[in-house]
Amino acid sequence: MHRKRLSSRLDHIQGSGVRRMFDLIRTMKDPINLSIGQAHYEAPAEAIEAATAAMRHGENRYTTTQGIPELIQRVSDRLEGRYGFRPPSVFMTSGVSGGLLLAHLSLFDSGDEILLPDPYFVMYTNMLELVGAKAAFYETYPSDDPKDGRPAWHPDLAEIEARITNKTRAILINSPSNPTGGMLDRNELQGLAALARKHDLWILSDEIYSHFHYGRSFESMITRMPDHEKTIVFGGFSKTYGMPGWRLGFVAGPEDALEAMKTVQQYTFVCAPAPLQYGALAAMSVDVSRYRDEYEQKRDLVYEQLHDLYPMVPSEGSFYAFPAYPDGVSEEVFLERCLERRLLIVPGSAFSRRATHFRLSFAASDAMLREGLRVLREIATE
Ligand code: PMP
């Protein structure tokens, strides 16, 4: 039999390790699931009501490419209120994923190099592969050198600069980070913007976890747009409002690049889901700050329960922790021990060139999280 010929674009694409976990979960009875990348709470009732009302009232057609004006206005106002700068252009996308794809298709050519953090969100490397561009990495793992003051899950700007070549087109940042829980501070954003300006690079800033910050407030790359125009910020509704299946996000950035991205949207997604944009508008009036507070308690619990057995730092944002495997335990053995106990986490090698850490999601009920932490303590002391 002849194998069907597929595009060579897929030659180096593998199914996501996170998806494989999802498949495994389906076969497992009562898993302790700390592998999930979405909030454990439901979308606000007001948002569901507004979306269904919109459907009933005939909002079932395409919207304009950029989305409904009320929502764009609302998002722009919110960004300006929160960060003190109104992005020159904003439009609605099919999730942050959709926005990222539009940016990749609009900005990058084959052979271009894009600097990504290691560890990174799995979509980044595969999306670059799909457009024929190349991932180059900057380090954020804890430094082995105690004299090096760089905190775990933060970049070293000098190292990033050393990795810039004449093919480099962009620096991608993801703060708060999936999978590490690291969150960049104002100085780091300032330094990154200065570096990007000096080398004429794009900054792509994935801020989907901006709602989930602990101990200090979140800093957006939007604050740096006045001094570095080539900045595109990606924001979402999936995580903040517990609606990942709605496929809604937005991009903010300079007019010319966003116009190009809108043109690509015309020929791909067409628009973000119409009735759900009305739902998202309603969601923006709901106070979801209590979830952030709850997640802060969960992240404290994770650190309290694990740090004596697993090398780690407290998460600064997102809803993930990224502890190291106990000394001498390989990823394979560790995963086996987890699966024997029905515990699901995501192995770090799904997000990295290394296989030394794992991603634990604390977007879970307290009962499930406590049970998972108990099992992790058991595994480390086995
Ligand atoms: N960026 C990061 C860092 C993510 O973790 C995710 C979802 N797991 C996305 C983007 C995609 O989000 P969306 O649902 O908005 O497409």
CATH code of the domain containing 202: 3.40.640.10
| Atom of ligand 1 lying closest to residue 177 CA | 3
* Measured distance CA(80)–CA(358) in Å, rounded: 36
Write the pLDDT tens digit of every residue in 192-226.
999 999 999 999 999 999 999 999 999 999 999 99
Write the pLDDT tens digit of every residue in 256-312.
999 999 999 999 999 999 999 999 999 999 999 999 999 999 999 999 999 999 999
Does 342 lie in the same domain as 218?
Answer: no
Does 125 lie in the same domain as 84?
Answer: yes
- Domain holding 35: CATH number? 3.90.1150.10
Tell me the whole-structure pTM to 2 decimals: 0.96
Does 371 lie in the same domain as 241?
Answer: no
Q: What amino acid is encoded at 169 in this protein? A: R
SS3 assignment, position 95: helix
Peptide bond into 254 cis (omega under 30): no
Contact criterion met (CB below 8 Å) for 371 and 34: no
Does 203 lie in the same domain as 120?
Answer: yes
Based on C-alpha coordinates, what's the Rg of the chain?
Answer: 21
* Measured distance CA(341)–CA(32) in Å, rounded: 8
238 Cβ inside 6 Å of ligand 1: yes
- Pocket-testing residue among 123, 140, 204, 207, ligand 1, by greatest number of atoms within 8 A of Cβ: 123
Does 59 lie in the same domain as 27?
Answer: no
Does 323 lie in the same domain as 186?
Answer: no
Provide the domain count of the chain.
Answer: 2
Contact criterion met (CB below 8 Å) for 46 and 56: no
317 Cβ inside 6 Å of ligand 1: no
Query: Is residue 2 a part of any domain in this protein?
Result: no
97 Cβ inside 6 Å of ligand 1: yes
Does 119 lie in the same domain as 23?
Answer: no
Write the pLDDT tens digit of every residue in 302-313.
999 999 999 999
| Atom of ligand 1 lying closest to residue 94 CA | 16
CA nearest 164: which of 110, 125, 203? 203
361 Cβ inside 6 Å of ligand 1: no
Query: Is residue 260 a part of any domain in this protein?
Result: yes
249 Cβ inside 6 Å of ligand 1: yes
Does 65 lie in the same domain as 31?
Answer: no
Peptide bond into 275 cis (omega under 30): no
* Chosen domain end from 283, 317, 340: 283
* Measured distance CA(313)–CA(205) in Å, rounded: 23
Does 332 lie in the same domain as 279?
Answer: no
Q: Ligand 1 mean position to 339 CA, how many Å? A: 26
Cβ contacts of 187 within 8 Å, gap of 6 or more? none
Q: Ligand 1 mean position to 208 CA, how many Å? A: 6
Does 145 lie in the same domain as 217?
Answer: yes
* Chosen domain end from 266, 283, 300: 283
| Band of residue 144 on the pLDDT scale cut at 50, 70, 90 | confident
How is residue 36 written in tokens?
């999930």
- Pocket-testing residue among 96, 116, 177, ligand 1, by greatest number of atoms within 8 A of Cβ: 96
- Pocket-testing residue among 94, 205, 208, 250, ligand 1, by greatest number of atoms within 8 A of Cβ: 208
Query: Is residue 77 a part of any domain in this protein?
Result: yes
Query: Is residue 1 a part of any domain in this protein?
Result: no
| Band of residue 20 on the pLDDT scale cut at 50, 70, 90 | low
| Atom of ligand 1 lying closest to residue 98 CA | 16
Does 298 lie in the same domain as 266?
Answer: no
Residue 82: burial class (beta carbons within 10 Å; 0-12, 13-18, 19+): middle
Give the pLDDT mean for 150-162. Answer: 96
* Chosen domain end from 223, 256, 283: 283
Q: Ligand 1 mean position to 329 CA, how many Å? A: 30
Query: Is residue 334 a part of any domain in this protein?
Result: yes
Residue 22 pLDDT more than 80? no
Alpha helices in 236-330 (DSSP H): 255-266, 274-283, 289-306
pLDDT of residue 217: 97
Query: Is residue 188 a part of any domain in this protein?
Result: yes
| Atom of ligand 1 lying closest to residue 99 CA | 16
Contact criterion met (CB below 8 Å) for 239 and 38: yes
37 Cβ inside 6 Å of ligand 1: yes
Does 274 lie in the same domain as 358?
Answer: no
Q: Are strands 32-33 and 320-321 parallel, antiparallel or unpaired?
A: unpaired
CA nearest 301: which of 242, 216, 214? 214
Query: Is residue 202 a part of any domain in this protein?
Result: yes
How is residue 231 written in tokens?
């900045």
Residue 15 pLDDT more than 90? no
Residue numbers of the domain that contains 221: 47-283
- Pocket-testing residue among 36, 40, 97, ligand 1, by greatest number of atoms within 8 A of Cβ: 97
